[in-house]
Amino acid sequence: LGMVPEQASCHYNLGLCLYDRDDYARAATHFRAAMELYTTSGDAEGEADSATNLGVACDLLDLYQEAIELQNRAVAIYERLGRERQVADCWANLGVAYYHLGQFERAVEHHNKALDVYSRLDVPEMQAACWMNLGATYDDLGLYERGRESSARARDAYAKLGHHRKQAECTANIGVSYYLDGRPASAIQHLSEALGAYRELKLPRQEANCLANLASAHGNSGDIRKAVALHREALSMYTEIGDAGNQARCWTNLASELVSTGEVPEALEALDRATRLYRSFARAAASSGRRWIPSSLYAVDACYGDAYVARDGDGDLYRAYRHYARAIAIVEQLRERAATSTDLKASYFSR
């Protein structure tokens, strides 16, 4: 029937519906179809809107370079059309994509460009989002004071907007920043505050993340028993909600604490549990034609090495050597693949 605009609109709306259901792969298919149809029909705004949403979906599918290309395509069109707010949205999306690629300076640049526009147009929710993203990015650059300042501004903005979940997330991020900055007492203070908020809001996944972060902070403060108890509590919650990835990381971090208390058999059992989970992830990836080398496996092998050194029985030092060698090999594989993760610890700090 030659109804190209109508076809494009249907694809676009289908993409939005699938995106809202977290079906990002199918959403991307429809956004792509809409973009191509809008381009064919000469609808520049429809093309830019589709490119923007397709870029966001690609970012969530770990297709970061394509996400960047799509957001830049949308920026060029929106600038031509004089759509300042939409240009700012694309810059914010670019900041997220560059962050995922580990290009933190470029992420800061784009978040600040977006923030300038949002401030001028008085869009408080997007200002808060930019401050929150800047906080995480500064932390990854090792600029912890600036990271905490940004997270605090985001927290205060979300408090004014009545967004209690986001307010709690910012408080948790401030706690993580203190942890990374080697200040466990301040980390514990802020993470405990966030934990109380998550429990009040009945957010079990965020509560589990906060418990795990608190465990690490207590471990760094020297309170190993408290750290072990919190890791076990987090592990129980991850198991209940079916989060296998964080179960694996939690078993690994629990093992690390158990090694430090001399409970080596329990540590080895925890590492075996983590390894079984990671092997299941690898099998699932292989069945879909992907090669899966998570940075967390570095922590598993390194911790195995520590455990065997601590046990120091017949053949244990050789076993330790093998695991340390495997940990080094994983780092090399990750470097060769230009892995996006910059932290090789078994970390699951929520951002």
Q: Which pLDDT band, with edges at 50, 70 and 90, does 312 fall under? A: confident
Residue 345 above 50 pLDDT?
no
Residue 351 above 60 pLDDT?
no
Q: What is the pLDDT of residues 57-110, one digit of tens each?
A: 999 998 999 999 999 999 999 999 999 999 999 999 999 999 999 999 999 999
Residue 122 above 90 pLDDT?
yes
Taking the CA atoms of the chain, what radius of gyration do you get in angstroms? 23
Q: Which pLDDT band, with edges at 50, 70 and 90, does 50 fall under? A: very high
Mean pLDDT of the chain: 89
Give the pLDDT confidence score for residue 189 in this predicted structure. 98
Give the pLDDT confidence score for residue 301 in this predicted structure. 86
Q: What is the pLDDT of residues 204-238, one digit of tens each?
A: 999 999 999 999 999 999 999 999 999 999 999 99
Give the pLDDT confidence score for residue 97 in this predicted structure. 96
Give the pLDDT confidence score for residue 323 in this predicted structure. 87
Q: What is the pLDDT of residues 84-95, one digit of tens each?
A: 999 999 999 999
Q: Which of 288, 290, 299 is nearest to 341 (CA)?
A: 299
CB 205 within 8 A of CB 197: no
**Percent of the chain at pLDDT exceeding 70:** 90
Residue 339 above 50 pLDDT?
no
CB 138 within 8 A of CB 100: no
Q: What is the pLDDT of residues 253-268, one digit of tens each?
A: 999 999 988 899 999 9
**Percent of the chain at pLDDT exceeding 90:** 73
